[in-house]
Amino acid sequence: MNVEYINPFIEASMSIINQTTGFNPKIGKLYIKNTPYKGDNLLILIGLTGKIQGSVVLSFSTEMACKIASAMMGGYTVTQLDELAKSAVGELCNMILGNTATLFSKKNIHIDITPPTILTGDNIELSIHQTVIVCVPLEFDDGSKIEIDISYRDK
Amino acid sequence: MNVEYINPFIEASMSIINQTTGFNPKIGKLYIKNTPYKGDNLLILIGLTGKIQGSVVLSFSTEMACKIASAMMGGYTVTQLDELAKSAVGELCNMILGNTATLFSKKNIHIDITPPTILTGDNIELSIHQTVIVCVPLEFDDGSKIEIDISYRDK
């Protein structure tokens, strides 16, 4: 695992989540996921090209996604994942990855990101071949978490 | 819908599917999908950056994916979506998008593609905001089909 490649994702996640929701999650223990792996009920997928080619999948339980959307909308109660709530969580992830790309550019590493694809479903399983998959768990005070799965090939 | 942007996807799909499986699907009627939309049981997601920013989602029923994987593996019987079968279908999509990028480059339109993310699940629904989503249905002789959903922002 190339720490130089993982730190910008962590730094951007912490900073953007704090700015947009007020939450202050802790970083859990990073680990490598093997393919295939199970996803939560709401996934936000953002592709990476340039020096780092791959994708980032942010995985939320329905409850966690509602909590994030509510915090982003000034405390407005969110009890189900409607399009507005999904769009808010998608925008959070877009901001995290946009900030990640800026942090990489400061290290002279150029990456481009795709717009987010937002996906809900049951029994979701993901397979990503020929890449490393590093999971960064973000742990919240109430025991809930968000998983950020970063898979990449170094070009 | 900018036809100049859609034709390379169609041309590459037809050519690569024919070369790798021997099938010769017909292009169905293109249409615009509204977000959110339902996905099939196997989705292959590939991101686009550069002049065209967005994503391509190729959607297969389990039966269709097994049929494609079987044809790619020289007729070897495939009855379930194991990792080998999913990898074969993922590679097909990777080849289609790689060929699409080459066709764009011949028009002096530069795009980059991400490695494929392969996803299975039930009751899948996709949301992609602030982009057009063009669906290209590929129809096979036996009535089965593959849907190619192209969503993009013109940079």
State residue A2's pLDDT score. Answer: 76
Q: Would you kindly state where each structural domain of chain A is located, as residue ranges?
A: 3-154
CB contact under 8 A, A121 and B118: no
| Of B90, B126, B151, Cβ closest to residue A119 | B126
**CA dist., res. B78 & res. B61, Å (int):** 14
Cα–chain-centroid distance for residue A68?
A: 13
Q: How many CB atoms lie within 10 A of CB A113?
A: 23
Interface of B with A (CB under 8 A): 35-36, 39, 43, 45-50, 53-55, 57, 83, 86-87, 90, 112-131, 151, 153
Report residue B1's pLDDT band, with 50, 70 and 90 as the boundaries. Answer: low
ipTM of the complex: 0.94
Residue A102 to residue A8: CA distance in whole angstroms: 9
Q: List the single residue in B47, B90, B127 with the smallest CB-CB distance to A118.
A: B127
Contacts of A119 in chain B (CB under 8 A): 39, 43, 119, 124-127
Compare all CA atoms of chain B with the CA of A152 and give the residue at the minimum distance.
B115
For the structural domain made of A3-154, what CATH number should be given?
3.40.1550.10
- Is B146 in a helix, a strand, or coil? strand
Count residue pairs from A and B with Cβ separation < 8 A. 141
What angle, 0 to 180 degrees and rounded to 10, lies between the N-to-C axes of helices B3-21 and B62-72?
Answer: 60
Predicted confidence (pLDDT) per residue in B5-61, tens digit: 999 999 999 999 999 999 999 999 999 999 999 999 999 999 999 999 999 999 999
pLDDT value of residue A1: 63
CB contact under 8 A, A130 and B121: no
Q: Which residues of chain A have pLDDT under 70?
A: 1
Phi, psi of A37 (to 5 degrees): -135, 155
Residues in chain B, total: 155
User: Are B46 and A47 in contact (CB < 8 Å)?
Assistant: yes
Asked if A112's CB is within 8 angstroms of B126's CB, the reply is no
**Which chain A residue lies closest to B86 (C-alpha atoms)?**
A127
pLDDT range class, residue B154, cuts 50, 70, 90:
confident
* E strand segments, chain A: 26-27, 31-32, 37-38, 42-50, 52-60, 111-113, 117-127, 132-139, 145-154
Phi, psi (degrees; rounded to nearest 5) at A65? -65, -40
Q: pLDDT tens for residues B106-131?
A: 999 999 999 999 999 999 999 999 88
Number of Cβ atoms within 10 Å of the Cβ of B13: 25
Query: Could you tell me how far CA A151 lies from the centroid of its own chain?
Result: 11
Q: CB within 8 A of B115, min separation 6: which ones?
A: A53, A54, A55, A128, A129, A130, A131, A151, A153, B46, B94
